[in-house]
């Protein structure tokens, strides 16, 4: 998931000019601001709402819901709000805390006994707030490959038991590193404590009471008649892409909403959990509202003099800072082609929500939210749109340079001879599962068994490194695979990393530790041959110590083989070749031994 806030931070650190002073923006100026930003920042469509002093003062859609259908965005158009879902997850936990069904300091393992972190101390002391505050000690986006890209088959059990395999990058509770998987765990806590799975709980206990009539959580989203289509400009032109199926990741980023409904959400937040015409009904207590808006994890304070900030950090589902003496509460959300932001200034009783359907939406958020917010803070017109457009172009160009150099080197090395069979095999990571490197049309290919969209050709790059161009191109996620070889030059393990510096952090290839785990089950079994008429003799082929092994049943002798190609194996001395044959259905039916004797597979033989 994208961290779009980093773009605004980068701009703030390098830019500071003063131009003409402006007052709070009129509706016409807001329209002009947004329409200009759509064009300059390559965004297909957006929807924006502003609440002030308890009222909705602006609520409107702009641009296109789809560049293909030309359907326009309106204030009721649903977008995926990505990580803005996290505040709904913390609100759900607040409701359960108010009901006395859990405490913020409860140990996670007391609710989820199978939950296990990377060491015993952290497992024993990890509490519910630790799930929500990005201070676990794990690295940025650890484990996000479980649901990025979508289509994988990981389960809640996989998530709960995955953390023990990650290597921490900092001491527990000492450093901020954004995390999605732990919010999925928080959703499971909600399910176990309430007796209701996450999606219906949030729908029934939060969305329905606030009368967010067109907002849906994850699997409950059925009506697609007014739903924005995600777009990408990775290839240059703005094109539609498939929407991400968040699935298991619902508590981290699964809600579909629109600015008309999100205005109600902001009003409830600004009213400290109270809602309704008379504000006499509470979604959650003021005590837990304060807990969500309390600094739990400290971040580096932005020293940009324009805002004179003194603190910065993360609460429970919200980023918290001060600007010009006013508290600022915000969060961004990002999925492929869907970027959003909620920003509130409680001291000004002001809230701004922006929903976009393009992968360049992060720049759009910075420009539009920054300009509107500045107008209420009494600041001058900073020219955010032009500055952000310039910074975005610079950032994209830098990423393009790195990516281009990689593929140029691949092209220049295309005549380098590679023994594919030194790399072919099954490799396994303890949390991500198995992947296979195989040969297709004389080229190496990579495929993940559990995440089928991670599939694509491998091209030689340099030394023992190959560049992978995924068949999945909705996001810029191509990767490098670095092999480690044994003394015979045969690959034993793989490390990976993204090629582009602009790759979304949720493609956490760097967290994989893929070790060779060849699977020779298709070859295993008994094979028969007649040295003399009427006298069957058998050999047994099986896997031992990650090698194909042949046992001569008449004397118990064993011979170990290395794979030379998909169907060819050779012993260490190089004098005992095996060549298997498949039938039309792809099943192994025989093996040629010593280039002379054909042994038939004896599927029915039982010793």
Could you please state the CATH topology (level 3) that the domain comprising 420-516 is classified under. Answer: Lipocalin (2.40.128)
The per-residue pLDDT for range 139-162, each reduced to its tens digit, is: 999 999 999 999 999 999 999 999
User: 302: closest CA among 315, 275, 277, 320?
Assistant: 320
Other residues' Cβ atoms within 10 Å of the Cβ of residue 487: 5
* Res 17: pLDDT: 38
Of 132-136, 217-221, 375-379, 490-494, the least confident: 217-221
CA distance 528 to 590: 9
3-state secondary structure of 476: coil
Q: Using 50, 70 and 90 to split pLDDT, how confident is the model at 534? A: confident
Beta bridge partners of 127: 107
CA distance 73 to 65: 5
Domain residue ranges of the chain, discontinuous segments joined by +: 5-231+243-397, 420-516, 525-601
Q: For residue 346, what are its two tokens?
A: 């409680």
User: Does the pLDDT value for residue 3 go beyond 70?
Assistant: no
User: 284: closest CA among 108, 101, 135, 110?
Assistant: 101
User: Does the pLDDT value for residue 9 go beyond 70?
Assistant: no
User: 517: closest CA among 550, 541, 493?
Assistant: 493
CA distance 39 to 5: 21
CA distance 486 to 488: 5
Buried/exposed 35-74: b ≥16 CB within 10 Å, e otherwise: eebbebbbbbbbbbbbbbeeebebbbbbbbbbbeeebebb
Contacts of 198 (CB under 8 A, 6+ apart): 89, 92, 187, 188, 190, 191, 217, 218, 250, 251
User: Does the pLDDT value for residue 91 go beyond 90?
Assistant: yes
Strands 514-516 and 491-498, how do they pair? antiparallel
* Res 1: pLDDT: 66
CA distance 184 to 194: 15
* Cβ–Cβ under 8 Å, residues 359 and 342: no
User: Does the pLDDT value for residue 89 go beyond 90?
Assistant: yes
Q: For residue 580, what are its two tokens?
A: 């298997």
Of 15-24, 175-184, 218-227, 236-245, the least confident: 15-24
* Res 236: pLDDT: 75
Element at 314 (helix H, strand E): strand 312-314
CA distance 348 to 375: 12
Strands 433-440 and 443-448, how do they pair? antiparallel
CA distance 489 to 492: 9
* Res 237: pLDDT: 85
CA distance 232 to 334: 13
CA distance 7 to 10: 5
CA 69 to chain centroid, in Å, comes to 28
CA distance 429 to 150: 19
Q: Using 50, 70 and 90 to split pLDDT, how confident is the model at 23? A: low
CA distance 65 to 230: 8
* Res 428: pLDDT: 95
User: Does the pLDDT value for residue 504 go beyond 50?
Assistant: yes
Contacts of 122 (CB under 8 A, 6+ apart): 136, 137, 172
Element at 334 (helix H, strand E): strand 326-335
Other residues' Cβ atoms within 10 Å of the Cβ of residue 598: 12
CA distance 125 to 119: 10
Rg (CA), the chain: 28
Q: Which CATH number fits domain 5-231+243-397: 3.40.50.150, 3.40.640.10, 3.40.710.10, 3.20.20.70?
A: 3.40.710.10
Which H, E and C letters describe 136-179, residue by residue?
CCCCCCCCHHHCCCCCCCCCHHHHHHHHHHCCCCCCCCCCCCCC
* Res 2: pLDDT: 58
- Size of the chain in residues: 607
Q: Using 50, 70 and 90 to split pLDDT, how confident is the model at 361? A: confident
User: 571: closest CA among 592, 550, 553, 541?
Assistant: 550
User: Does the pLDDT value for residue 118 go beyond 60?
Assistant: yes
Mean pLDDT of 21-34: 84
* Res 553: pLDDT: 87
Q: How many percent of the chain have pLDDT more than 70?
A: 96
* Res 535: pLDDT: 87
* Helical ranges in 281-383 per DSSP H: 286-292, 361-376
Average pLDDT of every residue of the chain? 93
User: Does the pLDDT value for residue 546 go beyond 90?
Assistant: no
The per-residue pLDDT for range 43-76, each reduced to its tens digit, is: 999 999 999 999 999 999 999 999 999 999 999 9
The per-residue pLDDT for range 445-484, each reduced to its tens digit, is: 999 999 999 999 999 999 999 999 999 998 889 999 999 9
Q: For residue 138, what are its two tokens?
A: 């794990």
Element at 56 (helix H, strand E): strand 55-63
Residue with tokens 């030689």: 460
The per-residue pLDDT for range 560-600, each reduced to its tens digit, is: 998 877 889 999 888 999 999 999 998 999 999 988 899 99
CA distance 525 to 588: 10
Beta bridge partners of 443: 440
User: Does the pLDDT value for residue 380 go beyond 80?
Assistant: yes
* Cβ–Cβ under 8 Å, residues 156 and 249: no
CA distance 348 to 376: 8
User: Does the pLDDT value for residue 10 go beyond 80?
Assistant: no
User: 80: closest CA among 270, 358, 365, 475?
Assistant: 358
User: Does the pLDDT value for residue 4 go beyond 90?
Assistant: no
305 CB burial (10 A radius; 0-12, 13-18, 19+): exposed
CA distance 422 to 456: 18
CA distance 64 to 66: 5
Q: For residue 442, what are its two tokens?
A: 């004389």
In Å, what is the CA distance from 256 to each residue of 99, 167, 244, 366, 390? 27, 34, 12, 22, 31
CA distance 599 to 281: 79
User: Does the pLDDT value for residue 13 go beyond 70?
Assistant: no
User: Does the pLDDT value for residue 111 go beyond 50?
Assistant: yes
* Cβ–Cβ under 8 Å, residues 583 and 576: no
* Res 556: pLDDT: 86
Report field, pTM of the whole predicted structure over 0.75: yes
Residue with tokens 């699935």: 247
26 CB burial (10 A radius; 0-12, 13-18, 19+): exposed
Where would I find the beta strands (DSSP E) of 399-498? 425-429, 433-440, 443-448, 455-462, 465-468, 479-485, 491-498
* Res 562: pLDDT: 85
């Amino acid at each position: 998931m994208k961290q779009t806030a980093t773009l605004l931070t980068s701009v703030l650190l390098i830019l500071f000019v003063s131009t003409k002073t402006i007052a709070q923006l009129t509706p016409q100026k807001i329209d002009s601001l947004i329409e200009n930003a759509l064009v300059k920042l390559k965004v297909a469509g957006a929807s924006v709402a502003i609440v002030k002093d308890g009222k909705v003062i602006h609520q409107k859609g702009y641009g296109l819901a789809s560049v293909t259908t030309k359907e326009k965005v309106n204030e009721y158009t649903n977008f995926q709000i990505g990580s803005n879902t996290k505040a709904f997850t913390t609100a759900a936990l607040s409701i359960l805390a108010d009901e006395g069904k859990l405490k913020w300091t409860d140990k996670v393992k007391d609710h989820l006994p199978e939950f296990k972190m990377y060491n015993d101390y952290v497992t024993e002391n990890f509490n519910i707030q630790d799930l929500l505050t990005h201070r676990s000690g794990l690295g940025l986006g650890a484990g996000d490959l479980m649901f990025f890209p979508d289509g994988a088959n990981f389960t809640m059990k996989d998530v709960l038991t995955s953390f023990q395999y990650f290597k921490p990058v900092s001491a527990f509770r000492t450093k901020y590193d954004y995390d999605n998987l732990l919010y999925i765990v928080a959703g499971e806590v909600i399910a176990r404590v309430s007796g209701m799975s996450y999606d219906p709980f949030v729908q029934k206990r939060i969305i329905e009471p606030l009368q967010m009539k067109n907002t849906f959580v994850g699997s409950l989203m059925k009506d697609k008649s007014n739903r924005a289509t995600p777009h990408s400009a990775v290839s240059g032109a703005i094109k539609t892409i498939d929407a991400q199926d968040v699935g298991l990741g619902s508590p981290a980023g699964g809600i579909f909403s629109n600015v008309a409904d999100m205005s109600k959400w902001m009003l409830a937040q600004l009213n400290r959990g109270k809602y309704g015409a008379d504000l006499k009904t509470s979604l959650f207590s003021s005590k837990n509202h304060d807990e969500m808006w309390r600094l739990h994890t400290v971040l580096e304070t932005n020293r940009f003099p324009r805002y004179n900030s003194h603190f910065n950090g993360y609460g429970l589902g919200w980023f918290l800072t001060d600007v010009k003496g006013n508290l600022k509460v915000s969060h961004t959300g990002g999925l492929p082609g869907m970027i959003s932001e909620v920003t509130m200034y409680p001291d000004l009783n002001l809230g701004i929500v922006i929903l976009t359907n393009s992968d360049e939406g992060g720049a759009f958020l910075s420009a539009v939210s920054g300009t509107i917010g500045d107008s209420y803070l009494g600041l001058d017109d900073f020219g955010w749109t032009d500055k952000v457009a310039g910074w975005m172009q610079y950032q994209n160009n830098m990423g393009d340079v790195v990516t281009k150099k990689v593929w140029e080197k691949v092209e220049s090395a295309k005549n380098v001879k590679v023994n594919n069979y030194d790399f072919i095999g099954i490799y396994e990571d303890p949390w991500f599962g198995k992947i296979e490197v195989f040969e297709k049309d004389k080229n190496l290919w990579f495929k993940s068994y559990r995440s089928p969209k991670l599939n694509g050709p491998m091209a030689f790059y340099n030394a023992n490194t190959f560049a992978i161009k995924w068949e999945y191109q909705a996001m810029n996620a191509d990767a490098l695979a670095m092999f480690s070889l044994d003394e015979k030059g045969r690959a034993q393990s793989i490390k990976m990393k993204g090629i582009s510096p602009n790759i979304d952090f949720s493609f956490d290839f760097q967290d994989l530790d893929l070790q060779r785990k060849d699977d020779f089950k298709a070859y295993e079994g008994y094979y028969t041959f007649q040295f003399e008429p009427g006298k069957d003799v058998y050999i047994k082929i099986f896997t031992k110590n990650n090698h194909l092994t042949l046992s001569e049943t008449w004397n118990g002798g064993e011979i170990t083989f290395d794979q030379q190609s998909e169907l060819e194996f050779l012993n260490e001395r190089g004098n005992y070749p095996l060549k298997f044959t498949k039938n039309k259905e792809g099943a192994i039916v025989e093996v040629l031994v010593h280039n002379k004797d054909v042994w038939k597979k004896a599927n029915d033989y039982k010793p």
